[in-house]
Amino acid sequence: MKQYRHTFRVNAPLSAVADFHSSTAALRQLSPPPMIVQFQNIEPLAEGSISDFTMWLGPLPIRWVAVHSDVTDLHGFTDSQQQGPYRSWVHQHTFREIDSNTTEVIDEIQAEPGNLISRFMWPSLPILFAYRGWKTRRVLAGNSKARVNSP
């Protein structure tokens, strides 16, 4: 079993960070170029909700279906791969208030690689999560709700 942890801080209140991550638009915004993501079904974040999408890594389609659990209004959620390239994948998203305008985002992943694609994807996680941290800070700059839902 492999483990990965990434932590970053956002100059935004806990509620704004939680709202952003619970938005169905967040996954699209947090997918770095040149990754193309096609959504088959993205349900609003709730206990048992499903995210069903295909990521294109160049010409390679990677189907991913995740189920959400441990959903709390302000403190995070977990997504577990039900279909995808890994034998198992559990990603815990935790949001922790540092002060009234600073939030720490903690991503912890436990995964067991499966096919060759997952073995290629695993070493790229630091780049993916560095992008996600940058993009989250950029989207939430100014704490505008209008920016949270814009592409």
Answer yes or no: pTM beyond 0.85: yes
Domain 2-32+68-145, what fold? Alpha-D-Glucose-1,6-Bisphosphate; Chain A, domain 4 (3.30.530)
| pLDDT for residue 151 is more than 60 | no
Residue type, 100: S
Quick one: residue 133, left, alpha or beta (phi over 0 = left, psi -120 to 50 = alpha)?
alpha
Give the pLDDT mean for 1-21.
97
Model confidence at 7, pLDDT cuts 50, 70, 90, reads: very high
pLDDT tens, residue by residue, 23-55 = 988 988 999 988 889 999 999 999 999 999 999
Cα distance between residue 76 and residue 93, in whole Å: 5
Cα distance between residue 44 and residue 68, in whole Å: 10
Which range (27-31, 88-92, 99-103, 136-140) has the least confidence? 27-31
